[in-house]
């Protein structure tokens, strides 16, 4: 059965100008990858130019009964954006709220002890924050509605110290060993108060659900592409989170270094590299399979949306697809997690610098 070596995290991810690669079950002080010497073709760029090639992204996926939500923050130095999307799995409707932001310094914090990502624009208040000292992971959303979109208020709270919570940090070559991509995962059960008013009317207090926070920081190439499938929810009373991805930043040896992960009630299973395909287009069925017989999933799209942004130095496009996962995933202990119409979010990204 496939496995990866899991070790405690070093104090710093960059030591003596070189990344420390691996999968870690403890957290460093910072998810910081600055300080790599000659990250591009061995050319000694000034550090300020190398740092401009570092991009960061934070994705928070959560499930609440019939609803699946996605909160995303994009830190592309020049093009920064916050986005919130909510999908009703029963009705099939989706609502998307986004805000383009100006240049911000460290829009996505590097400190893992405590930090927050937020936008306080009137009508587009989106924030999630974490504090390991208090053990809290908080989400607060307050977006105004229009004739075709409802007003949504969400306050969600998770506890890092919960027995069903688990955090992992992964550092891999991107794609050469001169550069790196660092990711932080946090699978956390949540309790949520939310209200939807307008086109749809729903209100709930103390709704139980599950969530997966994924934060990535990497040295990007001039053209970077990626595909991913993320899901978080409850199956037979178990808190389950899953993320599968393939990108142009993947290391040559994906069996040793990759970001695929499964979390079940606080237990982490490293997954092998997978092949994600959608031969008939992103609106038709997707397949995600590996060569170790651990992952055998199909993804059936139900709704989607796209966004494109063109600035002077950045051209970016993103496709987000909501749908259901069916199939099975093998855990490290040999047991199977069967997924039947399990809500998930698939994404395709393209960034050209």
Domain that holds residue 346: 6-352
Look over the chain and give the mean of its residue pLDDT values, rounded to a whole number: 91
pLDDT, average across residues 225-245 = 95
- Is residue 129 helix, strand or coil? strand
Number of domains in the chain: 1
Classified as helix, coil or strand, 50 is: helix
Over residues 141-168, the mean pLDDT reads 92
| Tokens, residue 231 | 């899901």
Q: Over 70: is that where the pLDDT of 276 sits?
A: yes
pLDDT score, position 328: 96
DSSP string, 191-203: EEEEEEESSS-EE
Predicted pLDDT of residue 104:
64
| % of the chain at pLDDT higher than 90 | 69
Residue 85 and residue 141: Cα distance in Å, rounded?
Answer: 11
Q: What does the pLDDT read at residue 312?
A: 62
Does the structure show a pLDDT above 80 at 281?
yes
Which H/E stretch holds residue 312?
Answer: none
Q: Tell me, what's the pLDDT at 121?
A: 81
**250-276 mean pLDDT:** 94
Name the pLDDT band for 81 (thresholds 50, 70, 90).
confident
The residue that leads in pLDDT, 86 or 123, is: 86
What is the mean predicted confidence (pLDDT) over 265-270?
96
Task: Quick: pLDDT tens for 99-119.
Answer: 877 666 678 999 999 999 988
φ, ψ (nearest 5 deg) of residue 49: -75, -40
In a domain, 251, yes or no: yes
- Among the residue ranges 69-78, 136-145, 186-195, 305-314, the one predicted with the least confidence is 305-314
Q: Residue 44's pLDDT is what?
A: 72
When mean pLDDT is compared over 175-179, 199-203, 330-334, the highest value belongs to 330-334
What are 291-347's pLDDT values in tens digits?
999 999 999 999 999 888 776 667 788 899 999 999 999 999 999 999 999 999 999
SS3 label, residue 52: helix
* Cβ-count burial 161-186 (b if 16+ within 10 Å, e if not): ebebbbbbbbbbbbbeebbbbbbbbb
**Does residue 89 form part of some domain?**
yes
**Does residue 185 carry a pLDDT above 70?**
yes
Task: Tell me if 6 sits within 8 A of 155, measured CB to CB.
Answer: no
pLDDT-derived band at 258 (thresholds 50, 70, 90) equals: very high
- CA 136 vs CA 19, 37, 79, 84, 317: distances in Å: 29, 36, 29, 21, 33
Centre a 10 Å sphere on the Cβ of residue 288 and count the other Cβ atoms it contains.
28
Q: Do the Cβ atoms of 48 and 105 come closer than 8 Å?
A: no
Tell whether the model's pLDDT for residue 139 goes beyond 70.
yes
Rounded-to-integer distance, Cα 157 and Cα 211, Å: 10
Whether 1 maps to a domain, the answer reads: no
Alpha-carbon span 338 to 327, nearest angstrom: 6
């Amino acid at each position: 059965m496939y496995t990866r070596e899991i070790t405690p995290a070093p104090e710093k991810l960059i030591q003596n100008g070189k990344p420390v690669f691996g999968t870690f079950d403890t957290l460093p002080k910072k998810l910081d990858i600055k300080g790599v010497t000659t990250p591009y073709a061995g050319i000694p760029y000034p550090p300020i130019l190398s740092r401009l090639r570092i991009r960061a992204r934070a994705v928070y996926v959560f499930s609440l009964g019939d609803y699946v939500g996605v909160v995303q923050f994009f830190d592309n130095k020049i093009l920064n954006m916050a986005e919130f999307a909510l999908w009703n799995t029963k009705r099939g409707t989706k609502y998307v709220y986004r805000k383009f932001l100006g240049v911000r310094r460290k829009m996505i914090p590097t400190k893992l002890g405590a930090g927050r990502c937020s936008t306080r624009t009137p009508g587009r208040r989106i924030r999630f924050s974490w504090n390991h000292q208090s053990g809290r992971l908080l989400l607060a959303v307050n977006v105004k509605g229009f004739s075709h979109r409802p007003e949504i208020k969400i306050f969600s709270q998770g506890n890092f110290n919960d027995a069903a919570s688990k955090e992992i940090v992964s550092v891999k070559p991107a794609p050469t060993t001169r550069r790196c991509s660092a990711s932080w995962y946090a699978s956390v059960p949540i309790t949520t108060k939310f209200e939807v008013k307008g086109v749809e009317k729903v209100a709930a207090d103390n709704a139980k659900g599950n969530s997966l926070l994924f934060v990535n920081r990497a040295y990007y190439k001039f053209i970077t592409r990626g595909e991913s499938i993320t899901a978080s929810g409850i199956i037979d009373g178990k808190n389950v989170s899953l993320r599968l991805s393939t990108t142009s930043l993947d290391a040559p040896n994906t069996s040793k270094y990759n970001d695929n992960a499964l979390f079940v009630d606080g237990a982490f299973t490293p997954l092998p590299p997978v092949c994600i395909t959608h031969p008939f287009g992103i609106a038709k069925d997707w397949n995600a399979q590996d060569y170790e017989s651990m992952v055998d999933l199909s993804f059936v799209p139900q709704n989607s949306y796209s966004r494109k942004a063109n600035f002077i130095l950045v051209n970016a496009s993103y496709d987000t697809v909501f749908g259901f996962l069916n199939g099975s995933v093998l855990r490290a202990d040999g047991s199977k997690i069967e997924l039947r119409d399990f809500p998930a979010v698939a994404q395709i990204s393209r960034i050209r610098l």
